[in-house]
A = this chain, B = another copy of it.
C-alpha cells in the first residue's frame, strides 16, 4: 500500500501511526518567581536531564482527560486551571518512537502546589524574549526532548495573557492582596511594575473587587483583600 492509500485508510492496523501523548507545564509563582515541576530522568534517552511530567493518551480518554489524569497522578493538583498550549509534532522529537505531544499548562496558587513523589520544584527565569531556563538548587538544568521549547512557549503565553485572561488569578488564592497580585504579574513578566499605576489600572479594569476584609497575620496595617470578579 503506498503512502497516499495508507493515509486515506480508516483501518487502524493498515499503517504505522504516531502515538499521542500529553506533557504538562505545572506552574505556580513561589517566593516571587515562576516555578515548574520537573522530574529527573534515570534512563536514556536524556539520562540525568530534567523533563516535564507526561503520559500517553489512552484510546478511551480525551486529550483533556489525559492531561487531567497526569495532573492528578503526578502533581496532586485538584482543580488546577488547565489550558492546552500547543501540539509538538516534529518527527525526531523522541528518539524511541514517534510521539506527537499535546502540551498543557496547569496553574495553581503556591499554597496548593504540592509535588507528588518524584517531582521537584524548579525555579524558572526567563529573559526579555521569554526564553526560559529552569533552575534546581541554584543551577540551570537542561530539559529533555523539546521540553525547553514547551517551557518557553508556556512563559510567553502566560505573559501574553496576563492582562486579558484569568491566568494571574489562577496563581493566587481566592482572596488576595494587591501586593500579591502585583508580585504574580512581576514574576511572570520578569520585571518590576509601577505600584500606583498597576493598582489604578487593575481597579479601574473592573476585574477585581474589594471584599471588605483584611489579611490576617500581618502585624502592622493588614492590607485589604480583593477577589477576581470574573471580568476581562
Contact = CB atoms under 8 A, between A and B. Distances in A.
A98 B84 CA distance: 19
A118 interface: no
A7 interface: yes
A229 interface: no
A42 to B, nearest CB: 14
Given A62-B91, A91-B60, A100 B19 contact: no
Interface stretch (A9-17, A120-128, A180-188, A218-226): A9-17
B84 A63 contact: no
Contacts of A20: 17-18, 20, 89, 100
A68 to B, nearest CB: 12
A59 interface: yes
A113 to B, nearest CB: 24
Contacts of A215: none
User: Which among A6, A10, A100 has the highest number of chain B CB atoms within 10 Å?
Assistant: A100
A16 B91 contact: no
A18 B59 contact: yes
A41 to B, nearest CB: 13
User: Which among A57, A86, A97 has the highest number of chain B CB atoms within 10 Å?
Assistant: A57
A58 B91 CA distance: 10
A61 interface: yes
A166 interface: no
Interface of A: 3, 6-8, 10, 12, 15-20, 55-64, 66, 84, 86-87, 89-91, 96-98, 100, 102
Which 8 A/B pairs are nearest by Cβ-Cβ distance? Answer: A63-B89, A16-B59, A7-B56, A87-B87, A18-B20, A62-B90, A17-B19, A20-B100
26 contacts: A3-B58, A6-B56, A6-B58, A7-B55, A7-B56, A7-B58, A8-B55, A10-B97, A15-B56, A16-B59, A17-B20, A17-B57, A18-B20, A20-B100, A57-B89, A57-B100, A60-B91, A61-B91, A62-B89, A62-B90, A62-B91, A64-B89, A66-B89, A84-B86, A87-B87, A100-B102
